């Protein structure tokens, strides 16, 4: 049984960087780039961990996180929230909505990997 992550992000360079580092570590990486259908993607693919960008087309990552937490079957899913804005209010919002971890862009690949290993130890 592998480790499966769903990366919900719309910036191709970030998608490629995260896909590369996680694939090398043995993760199966699915990607999704539209906020509107992000919850459906999580429900369909049933990942072990979600990496969720705050700034997405059509929906905010905060809205998606709130929806994930409201679902019985996926409500406890570990979610690593990524944001380009690292102000205290953004961190507070992430915590209030139930983000498992919060990371500000730019981040290093090793930070993402360490966070995922912490959220889903194998």
pLDDT in tens, 81-116: 999 887 889 999 999 999 999 999 899 989 999 999
**Contacts of 28 by beta carbon, 8 Å cutoff, 6+ apart:** 2, 3, 4, 5
DSSP character at residue 100: S
Domain that holds residue 65: 3-116
Tell me the helices (H) and strands (E) count for the chain, helix number first: 5, 5
* Number of domains, the chain: 1
In a domain, 121, yes or no: no
In a domain, 38, yes or no: yes
Give the end-to-end CA distance of the chain in Å, rounded to a whole number: 10
CATH of the domain at 56: 3.40.50.2300
Task: Identify the burial level of 9 via C-beta atoms within 10 angstroms of its C-beta, where 0-12 means exposed, 13-18 middle and 19 or more buried.
Answer: buried
In sequence order, what are the beta bridge partners of 66? none
In a domain, 17, yes or no: yes
In a domain, 105, yes or no: yes
Cα gap 23→120, rounded to integer Å: 15
pLDDT tens, residue by residue, 35-94: 999 999 999 999 999 999 999 999 999 999 999 999 999 999 999 999 988 788 999 999
In a domain, 122, yes or no: no
In a domain, 33, yes or no: yes
- Please tell me the pTM assigned to this model: 0.95
Instruction: Find out whether 74 and 65 touch, Cβ atoms under 8 Å.
Output: no
């Amino acid at each position: 049984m592998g480790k499966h992550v769903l990366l919900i992000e719309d910036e191709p360079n970030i998608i490629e960087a995260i896909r590369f580092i996680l694939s090398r570590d043995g993760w199966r990486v699915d990607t999704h780039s539209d906020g509107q259908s992000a919850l459906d993607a999580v429900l369909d693919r049933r990942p072990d961990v979600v990496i969720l960008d705050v700034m997405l087309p059509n929906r905010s990552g905060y809205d998606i996180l709130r929806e994930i937490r409201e679902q019985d079957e996926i409500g406890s899913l570990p979610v690593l929230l990524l944001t380009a804005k690292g102000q205290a209010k953004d961190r507070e919002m992430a915590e209030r909505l139930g983000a498992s971890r919060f990371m500000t862009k730019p981040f290093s690949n090793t930070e993402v990997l360490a966070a995922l290993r912490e959220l889903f130890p194998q």
